[in-house]
């Protein structure tokens, strides 16, 4: 189906014969549609970020950020909580890489993890699993703090 240039020209001239207020509304509607389309494309292209680590000492956070920059991984640091987030598709890879580098040093969140905001509708199973994980981390840090113990997991 070919577009006839004469027919297209006739449509534009019909628009130009419309009252100025109608032309202005048409122009504003077109501009709003274009802006909405551009915003939607930009939003869709933004990666989802997932927390990598949170509540770190400033020294550990600085080392992790340096490692992320060396790896070329984009990251975000929350100004309020200090949580370091990376794109969702590289979280596991970066945790393994950072663990291989010995980072973060001495990071266990323990019961502090229970104070983080929970999503609405979390099941009792997930709450219990979160509590168990926090308890394990607290025990691990308590055992690791003993003088005769070198490290605990």
51 and 102 in a single domain? The answer is yes
Would you say residue 65 lies in a domain? yes
Are 60 and 101 members of one domain? yes
Is residue 3 in a domain? Answer: no
The fraction of the chain above a pLDDT of 90, given in percent, is 24
Q: pTM to 2 decimals?
A: 0.49
Please write the tens of the pLDDT for every residue from 26-53.
999 999 999 999 999 998 888 888 888 8
Same domain, yes or no, for 99 and 113? no
Peptide bond between residue 104 and the one before it cis (omega within 30 degrees of 0): yes
Give the count of alpha carbons within 13 A of 68, CB side only.
22
69 and 91: one domain?
yes
The pLDDT tens digits of the residues spanning 12-29 come to: 788 888 888 998 999 999
Pair (40, 53) in one structural domain: no
Confidence of residue 101 (pLDDT cuts 50, 70, 90): confident
Q: Which domain holds residue 117?
A: 108-153
Q: What is the mean pLDDT of the chain?
A: 82
For 50, phi and psi rounded to 5 degrees? Answer: -125, 140
């Amino acid at each position: 189906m070919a577009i006839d240039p004469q027919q297209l020209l006739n449509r534009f001239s019909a628009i130009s014969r419309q009252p100025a207020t109608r032309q202005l509304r048409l122009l504003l509607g077109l501009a709003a549609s274009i802006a909405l389309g551009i915003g939607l494309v930009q939003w869709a292209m933004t990666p989802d970020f997932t927390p990598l680590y949170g509540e770190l000492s400033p020294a550990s956070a600085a080392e992790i950020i340096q490692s992320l920059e060396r790896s070329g991984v984009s990251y975000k640091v929350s100004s309020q909580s200090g949580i370091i987030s990376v794109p969702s598709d590289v979280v596991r890879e970066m945790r393994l890489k950072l663990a291989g580098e010995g980072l973060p040093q001495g990071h266990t969140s323990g019961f502090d993890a229970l104070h983080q905001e929970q999503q609405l509708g979390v099941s009792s199973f997930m709450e219990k699993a979160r509590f168990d994980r926090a308890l394990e981390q607290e025990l691990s840090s308590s055992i690791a703090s003993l003088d005769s113990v070198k490290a605990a997991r």
